[in-house]
C-alpha cells in the first residue's frame, strides 16, 4: 500500500512544483468538507483511489488537503516528531495538550485536529506518505498508529511488539 501512496504523493508534489493554483486551492478547500465529498477535488485525487477501502479513500483526500496547506515533503519526518520539536522550540506544554487531543481524536474529528497540527507546524516538512498511511489505519482496533505516534513524540524507540502489531494489522 505504501508504494501506491508514494506514487500519489509524488503526484501531489508535481502539482505543487507546477504551482497548479486551481488544484491546490481545490484541495485546500476540500478540508472544509468530509473527506472525499468536495467535487472540485475529485480530478486530483479520485484517479488514485480505485479499489481502495472507504477509509483509505478518505485518507487520500484528507492527506491531499493537508498537503496543499504545507507542500513540503521529507521522508521520515513524522507529525509526532515534528510536534515534539515544536514543543521544545516553543518551550510550551500547550503543544503537548494539542498532541494528546489529536491522539484521542475519533475518525470524524481527525481532519480538524490534523489541520490544527499542520497549521501549528508551519513550514516544517512532513512525510506525507507515512501520514496518509497512518490516517488510513487510524481506527484500527488496537490503535497501533496512536501508540507509535506517542512513542515518536516522547522519544521512545518502537518495541518489537508494536512493530509486530503493525504487521498483523496490515495483513
Q: Which three three-digit cell numbers place residue 70?
A: 504545507
Q: What is the pLDDT of residue 157?
A: 55
**Residue ranges making up the domain that contains 122:** 2-139
Q: Over 50: is that where the pLDDT of 171 sits?
A: no
3-state helix, strand, coil in the chain (%, to 5): 70, 0, 25
- Predicted TM-score of the model (pTM): 0.89
CATH for 41: 1.10.520.40
pLDDT tens track for 42-68: 999 999 999 999 999 999 999 999 999
Q: What is the pLDDT of residue 147?
A: 97
Question: In the chain, how many domains are there?
Answer: 1
Task: Determine which helix (DSSP H) or strand (DSSP E) holds 109, and give its type and residue range.
Answer: helix 107-121
Instruction: List, as one string, the DSSP characters of 51-75.
Output: T--HHHHHHHHHHHHHHHHH--B-T
pLDDT tens track for 136-164: 999 999 999 999 999 999 997 555 444 54
pLDDT tens track for 63-104: 999 999 999 999 999 999 999 999 999 988 899 999 999 999
Q: Which three three-digit cell numbers place residue 151?
A: 512513542
The answer to whether residue 164 sits within a structural domain is no
Amino acid at each position: 500500500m505504501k508504494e501506491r501512496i508514494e506514487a500519489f504523493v509524488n503526484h501531489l508534489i508535481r502539482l505543487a512544483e507546477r504551482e497548479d493554483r486551481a488544484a491546490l486551492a481545490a484541495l485546500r478547500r476540500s478540508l472544509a468538507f468530509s473527506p472525499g465529498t468536495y467535487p472540485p477535488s475529485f480530478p486530483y485525487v479520485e484517479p488514485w483511489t480505485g479499489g481502495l477501502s472507504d477509509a483509505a479513500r478518505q485518507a487520500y483526500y484528507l492527506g491531499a488537503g493537508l498537503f496543499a496547506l504545507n507542500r513540503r515533503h521529507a521522508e521520515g519526518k513524522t507529525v509526532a516528531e515534528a510536534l515534539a520539536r515544536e514543543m521544545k522550540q516553543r518551550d510550551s506544554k500547550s503543544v503537548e495538550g494539542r498532541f494528546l487531543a489529536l491522539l484521542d481524536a475519533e475518525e470524524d474529528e481527525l481532519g480538524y485536529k490534523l489541520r490544527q497540527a499542520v497549521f501549528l507546524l508551519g513550514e516544517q516538512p512532513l512525510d506525507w506518505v507515512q501520514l496518509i498511511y497512518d490516517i488510513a489505519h487510524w481506527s484500527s482496533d488496537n490503535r497501533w498508529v496512536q501508540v507509535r505516534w506517542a512513542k515518536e513524540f516522547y522519544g521512545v524507540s518502537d518495541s518489537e511488539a508494536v512493530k509486530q502489531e503493525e504487521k498483523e494489522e496490515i495483513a
